[in-house]
């Protein structure tokens, strides 16, 4: 029961499936030893108790929303599960040996078909991750380990006469079943708490006798028979076996610790902070020693290139404005250099490069920067950051940057900032088609730079192109832009264009629910100051989704616009009970109270 309540309160989809399967496995042997009536009775009591707890807790909004996530539609739309297809393609591509342990976060990037707003280092499917990284050999080892542990746990559970050993075996079966099931939708075994718990329980199982007296053996002894031999695996032996590989790994561990210390000491400062030349030289010395000791450390090469580049930027800033170094540092960026050299005729390149880096030492340092980044790409050809840096620096060396830009666009599925940067490079080189395509990808998963993109788009493209091609089919973003077009006279696009696009999406997007469509139409009506029509649509939205507090808040606010404080008060009360933000509810009550005071006779 305790385990059942813990699983219920965890709101974990995989844990609920795991506890069901584990309970069935453990109960199957309990039917033999305890009696089916007892097991069925305990099971019925447990189910009734969990059903009562579920009913009680279902009144809470968090559990209701989490239960909705169990639908197949919600699961398939989750970004964590979307990259299973990319992981499967990567696993097939890297067969039979795999991409290497710890490389899944990069290995699946070239195979992604949809952008996400986060980078996933793990596959949220432990078996898929093992297959991708370790190939067939890794899968064979994992399956063999599971089978051996399952056999040992089941043997200890079913063939032990000692209650303590039976309990250990039952715990082993439960933990193994839970981990095996949960690993299909997560990477739970890598969590320290789970790893420690599994290690303790499986260690206890392995410490139990390999064969023990079963109930049949006890009856055999009662009639004078000889006992079966029992052989035990001392816990200390298993401990020593576990410690031995750890001791052998200390050499590598010390190198990793030293690497982490150097990378921490050479942390890249914020862009608003201007480093000193002495700081650049000291950090380069540290990173040079690190790359000599660990020539395959990608982070070290990338960090080394950054500090080399920082020295070049600092010298260029001093050359530009020695008395305003901080301002010049902000100006002398790789993006500025890219925009300056990318569209420059070849005849002027040498002259401009000599003006920017007049010293042969500086020109040699620029070549060293490219070398460091090339080494980073050799160590990990799937790192988007390295491709972005090389794309920006390519025009300075009078090389084509498009190859690196194409690689960046392909590898940037998990980082919206990289997608934005790729679009910006194409924008600066007047490749409008590619810039629109990449920025459309960016705005699909993130809207943080929507204002920046819009400002840049105003300089190049007509309003129709911006509204219909640059911005994606994101109804929330389009509604926000339509509202902004009404308030901001500086926007070139007329509100009618945004409104028409919103209406088209509301009519054609099959993924929207009826409540969401009504809410969208209500917002358009509000932008036209048609508050009666807005109330009608907000009522439809509330009827379609009665548990949405935001719809209630917006309906209450619309009633206030028409001076109906009674209806507004009712909706505000319901919104507060549904968990609306307190400041929104307080603002509604404050407005209602003010309207009531104004209507009172003086």
Residue linked to tokens 């950090």? 283
Contact present, 317 and 271 (Cβ < 8 Å): no
Q: Are 404 and 386 in contact (CB under 8 A)?
A: no
Q: At what angle do helices 416-428 and 384-393 cross, to 10 degrees?
A: 20
| pLDDT value at residue 126 | 85
Whether 568 is in a domain gets the answer: no
Q: How far apart are CA 299 and CA 256, in angstroms?
A: 12
Closest Cα partner for 385 from 301, 273, 284, 308?
Answer: 301
Residue numbers of the domain that contains 210: 2-219+228-237
The Cβ of residue 259 has, within 10 Å, a number of other Cβ atoms equal to 16
Tokens linked to 360: 């042969």
CB 454 within 8 A of CB 487: no
Provide the terminal-to-terminal Cα distance of the chain, rounded to the nearest Å.
64
pLDDT number for residue 100: 80
CA atoms within 13 A on the CB side of 327: 5
Q: For residue 369, tell me if it sits in a domain.
A: no
Into how many domains does the chain fold?
1
Per-residue burial over 371-380, b = 16 or more CB atoms within 10 Å of its CB, e = otherwise = ebbebbbebb
- Secondary structure of 202-214 as H, E, C letters: HHHHHHCCCCCCC
Q: Is residue 114 part of a domain?
A: yes
In a domain, 6, yes or no: yes
State the Cα–Cα distance between residues 476 and 539, nearest whole angstrom.
Answer: 19
Residue 123 lies in a domain: yes
Burial of 116 (0-12, 13-18, 19+ CB in 10 A): middle
174: Cβ–Cβ under 8 A, 6 or more apart, which residues?
3, 22, 26
Examine residue 11 and state whether it is found in any structural domain, yes or no.
Answer: yes
Q: How wide is the angle at C-alpha 533 spanned by C-alphas 532 and 536, nearest 5°? A: 90
Contact 104, 405 (CB under 8 A): no
Closest-CA residue to 175 (of 195, 191, 145)? 195
| Domain presence at residue 459 | no
- Average confidence (pLDDT) per 10 residues, the chain, 602 residues: 46 55 58 57 70 61 54 57 77 85 78 71 82 86 85 85 81 84 77 72 77 49 46 48 52 65 89 91 94 89 94 92 89 90 84 87 92 92 91 90 90 88 93 94 90 90 92 91 82 82 91 91 92 94 90 93 90 89 90 83 60
Q: Of 419, 408, 410, give the one whose Cα is nearest residue 444.
A: 419
- Examine residue 415 and state whether it is found in any structural domain, yes or no: no
């Amino acid at each position: 029961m305790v385990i059942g309540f813990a699983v219920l309160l965890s709101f974990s989809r995989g844990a609920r499936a795991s506890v069901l399967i584990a309970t069935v496995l453990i109960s199957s042997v309990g039917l033999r030893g305890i009696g089916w009536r007892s097991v069925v009775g305990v099971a019925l009591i447990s189910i009734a108790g969990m059903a009562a707890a579920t009913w009680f807790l279902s009144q809470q909004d968090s559990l209701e929303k989490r239960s909705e996530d169990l639908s197949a539609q919600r699961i398939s739309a989750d970004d964590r599960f979307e990259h299973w297809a990319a992981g499967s393609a990567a696993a097939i591509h890297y067969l039979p040996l795999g991409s290497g342990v710890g490389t899944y976060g990069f290995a699946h990037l070239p195979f992604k078909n949809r952008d996400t707003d986060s980078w996933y280092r793990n596959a949220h499917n432990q078996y898929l991750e093992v297959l991708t990284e370790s190939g067939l050999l890794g899968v064979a080892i994992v399956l063999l380990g599971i089978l051996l542990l399952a056999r040992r746990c089941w043997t200890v559970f079913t063939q032990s006469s000692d209650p303590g050993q039976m309990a250990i075996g039952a715990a082993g079966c439960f933990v193994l079943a839970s981990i095996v099931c949960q690993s299909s939708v997560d990477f739970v075994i890598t969590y320290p708490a789970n790893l420690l718990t599994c290690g303790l329980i499986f260690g206890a199982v392995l410490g139990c006798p390999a064969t023990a007296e079963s109930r049949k053996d006890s009856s055999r002894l009662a009639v004078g028979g000889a006992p079966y031999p029992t052989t035990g695996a001392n816990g200390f032996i298993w401990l020593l076996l576990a410690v031995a590989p750890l001791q052998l790994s200390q050499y590598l561990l010390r190198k990793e610790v030293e690497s982490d210390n150097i990378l921490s000491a050479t942390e890249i400062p914020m862009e608003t902070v201007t480093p000193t030349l002495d700081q650049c030289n000291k950090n380069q010395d540290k990173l040079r020693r690190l790359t000599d000791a660990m020539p395959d450390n990608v982070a070290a090469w990338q960090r080394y290139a950054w500090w080399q580049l920082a020295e070049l930027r600092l010298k260029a800033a001093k050359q530009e404005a020695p008395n305003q170094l901080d301002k010049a540092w902000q100006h002398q960026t790789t993006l500025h250099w890219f925009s300056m050299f990318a569209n420059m005729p070849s005849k002027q390149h040498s002259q401009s490069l000599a003006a920017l880096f007049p010293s042969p030492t500086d020109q040699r340092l620029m070549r060293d920067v490219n070398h460091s980044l090339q080494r980073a790409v050799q160590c990990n050809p799937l790192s988007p950051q390295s491709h972005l840096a090389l794309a920006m620096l390519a025009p300075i060396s009078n090389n084509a940057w498009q190859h690196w830009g194409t690689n960046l666009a392909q590898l940037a599925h998990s980082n919206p900032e990289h997608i934005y940067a790729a679009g910006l490079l194409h924008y600066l080189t007047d490749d409008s088609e590619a810039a629109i395509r990449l920025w459309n990808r960016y705005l699909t998963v993130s809207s943080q730079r929507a204002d920046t993109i819009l400002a840049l788009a105003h300089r190049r493209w007509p309003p129709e192109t911006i509204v219909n091609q640059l911005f994606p089919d994101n109804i929330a973003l389009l509604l926000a832009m339509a509202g902004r077009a009404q308030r901001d006279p500086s926007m070139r696009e007329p509100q009618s264009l945004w409104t028409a696009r919103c209406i088209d999406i509301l009519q054609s997007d099959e993924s929207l629910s009826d409540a969401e469509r009504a809410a969208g139409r209500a917002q358009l009506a509000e932008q036209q100051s048609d508050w009666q029509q807005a109330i009608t649509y907000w009522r439809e939205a509330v009827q379609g989704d009665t548990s949405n507090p935001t719809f209630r808040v917006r309906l209450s606010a619309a009633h206030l616009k028409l001076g109906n404080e009674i209806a507004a008060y009712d909706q505000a009360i319901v919104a507060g009970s549904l968990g609306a933000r307190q400041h929104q509810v307080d603002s509604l009550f404050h407005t209602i109270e003010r309207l009531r005071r104004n209507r009172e006779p003086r």
